[in-house]
Amino acid sequence: MANRGCTVTPSYMQKIRSIPLFAASLAGLLLPLGAIAAPTDSAAIRDAALKDDVAWAFTEGLTTEVGPRPAGTPQEARARDWAVARLNALGFSNVRAEPYKMPVWVRGRDEAKILSPFPQNLVLAALGNSGSTSDKGIEGEVVYFPTIADLEVAPDASIRGKIVFVSHGMTATQDGSSYGYYGAARRQGPSIAAKKGAIAILIRSIGTDHHRVPHTGVQMWADGVTPIPAAALSVPDAEQLARVMGRGQPVKLHLTLTSKMLKDQPSGNVIAEIPGSDPAAGVVVAACHLDSWDQGTGAIDDATGCGIAAAAALQVAKGGTPRRTIRVLMAGAEEVGGDGARAYYKAHGTEKHALAMESDFGADRVWRVDFKLPQGHEALTKRIADALAPLGVGAGTQEAGGGADIAPLVKAGVPVIDLQQDGTRYFDLHHTPDDTLDKVDPIQLRQNVAAWAVTLNLVANTEDSMGIN
């Protein structure tokens, strides 16, 4: 359960034994039932969930048998088929895919070379919605900005016709909060550079590792901006280019960044339910996303999130039919703009929602819980915090905000609980080829399942109104 830092899981840890759950369940039943309005005691659910095999098997299966699954592609369609089959096999009800259409950006070749003064290749990856070069690529002189703030204030004349390079120094944080600030180089940098007349933009990867694995990610062009080629250098390559720039000589690059845009491609959400006994009490949504970026196998982003949500729902179901329906939402197209979340809200936004939760920050341990519940739910908040405390999860003081897959629900006022995951090493891997199964720690994954299971169980079974009726 300890923070594993940069240590990867040794392969022997990945050989999950199939542990019979009977002994643990029996122990749970022998515990005295307290004042909790739940058919199964939190301790029993927690103990069983800490031996869960479903989340690992889901993660291993999706990343192995489907692998990369970019939104709107045939690989994502295979992921939907795979998830529907797996969720049916696990015993969920009302399992179905809910399709929609979306535009899709497709990566081609990503190549960069310093032509002068020190000829050598650089490793990079185009950002989502990047403009495309021709197959022959483009050449240009590099103009360097240590931060996006430097780019913002630079005169257009210093940029016109050149390749912009923006660096920065993102470091790891447990809560992932630095992603917001440093991520601006990816999200806004390309539009700023294009407006100022740059022919391309390279950014230092929004990442905290030191490997030759660039971090891609989506960016949206501001209104009226003509797209230019936009890519992220791996951190060592960005440091190398900064050193080369530091020699004071003009630096010329050759870039080949080919890609294409497709219209109206099929994507979709996958939904599966544990039906509740009281339809009027509203549904509890447990969300994750099924799509991934194209260069890794989307293990921590977000196969684990889907494994955690599905496994936790099943752990609750073992205790009997919950009062409220638990609906697992495996959203499509989270990575490229949230089409899945919008499609879900369009189809289901008028239904009563008691709670929304989302797992989309890897699979390292949950360390903090944040709430946004209706007034008068303080006792429920305390029961959840007490049930999470033995897992090493402390109650925070911030208001919960959810994530992209439940954003329209949260905006509409649906209550939300955030089980905050340890993000210390998340941005070592995020959106890179390195997002693979070996980075998942099965022990911490189970702690996530346990935290989710006790939380879902308490909310799904509470007599509190959750603001409904």
Return all residues near 457 (Cβ < 8 A) that are at least 6 apart: 38, 40, 42, 45, 315, 316, 319, 322
Alpha-helical segments (H) within 230-271: 235-246
Phi-psi group of 466: left, alpha or beta (phi > 0 → left; psi -120 to 50 → alpha; rest → beta): left
Site string for a second copy, 343-372 (x = CB under 8 A): ------------------------------
Q: Which is nearer to a second copy, 197 or 236 (CB)?
A: 236
- Helical pair 54-65 and 442-461, crossing angle rounded to 10 deg: 120
Please select the residue that binds a second copy; options are 432, 447, 455, 461, rule is CB under 8 A: 432
Distance (Å, rounded) from C-alpha 464 to C-alpha 170? 43
User: 218: which strand partners?
Assistant: 128
Please select the residue that binds a second copy; options are 251, 306, 437, 440, rule is CB under 8 A: 437
- CB of residue 456 to a second copy, shortest distance in Å: 30
The verdict on whether 334 is a catalytic residue reads yes
Distance (Å, rounded) from C-alpha 142 to C-alpha 145? 10
Exposed e or buried b for every residue in 318-355, given b needs 16+ CB within 10 A? Answer: bbeebbbbbbbbbbbbbbbbbbbbbbbbeebeeebbbb
Q: Does position 181 bind a second copy by CB under 8 A? A: no
Distance (Å, rounded) from C-alpha 387 to C-alpha 286? 18
Distance (Å, rounded) from C-alpha 446 to C-alpha 72? 31
Could you say which of 60, 76, 273, 334 is catalytic? 334
Token digits of residue 387? 């049930």
Please select the residue that binds a second copy; options are 160, 243, 260, 382, rule is CB under 8 A: 243
Exposed e or buried b for every residue in 128-144, given b needs 16+ CB within 10 A? Answer: bbbbbbeeebbebebbb
Q: Does position 239 bind a second copy by CB under 8 A? A: yes
Please select the residue that binds a second copy; options are 51, 204, 439, 446, rule is CB under 8 A: 439
What is the gyration radius of the CA atoms in the chain, in angstroms? 23
Q: Does position 263 bind a second copy by CB under 8 A? A: no
Distances (CA, A) of 188 to 205, 310, 403: 14, 35, 20
Site string for a second copy, 5-24 (x = CB under 8 A): xxxx--x-------------
Q: Does position 65 bind a second copy by CB under 8 A? A: yes
Please select the residue that binds a second copy; options are 3, 93, 94, 121, rule is CB under 8 A: 121
Q: Does position 84 bind a second copy by CB under 8 A? A: no
* Per-position DSSP letters for 294-360, written without gaps between them: SSS--IIIIIHHHHHHHHHHHHHHHT---SSPEEEEEES-TTTT-HHHHHHHHHHTTS-EEEEEE--
Q: Which is nearer to a second copy, 52 or 60 (CB)?
A: 60
Please select the residue that binds a second copy; options are 64, 94, 116, 465, rule is CB under 8 A: 64
Interface with a second copy by CB under 8 A: which range of 189-197, 221-229, 337-345, 436-444? 436-444
Q: Does position 436 bind a second copy by CB under 8 A? A: yes
Q: Under rule CB under 8 A, how many of the chain's residues touch a second copy?
A: 40
Please select the residue that binds a second copy; options are 99, 119, 401, 413, rule is CB under 8 A: 119
Q: Which is nearer to a second copy, 121 or 277 (CB)?
A: 121
- CB of residue 342 to a second copy, shortest distance in Å: 28
Interface with a second copy by CB under 8 A: which range of 64-72, 217-225, 310-318, 454-462? 64-72
Q: Does position 169 bind a second copy by CB under 8 A? A: yes
Q: Does position 178 bind a second copy by CB under 8 A? A: no
Interface with a second copy by CB under 8 A: which range of 27-35, 188-196, 220-228, 231-239? 231-239
* Per-position DSSP letters for 112-147, written without gaps between them: EEEEESS-EEE-EEEPBT-----TT-EEEEEEEESS
Q: Does position 210 bind a second copy by CB under 8 A? A: yes
Applying CB under 8 A, the residues found at the interface with a second copy are 5-8, 11, 60, 63-68, 75, 117-121, 123, 169, 210-213, 235-236, 239-240, 243-244, 247, 296-297, 432-434, 436-439
Active site residues: 334
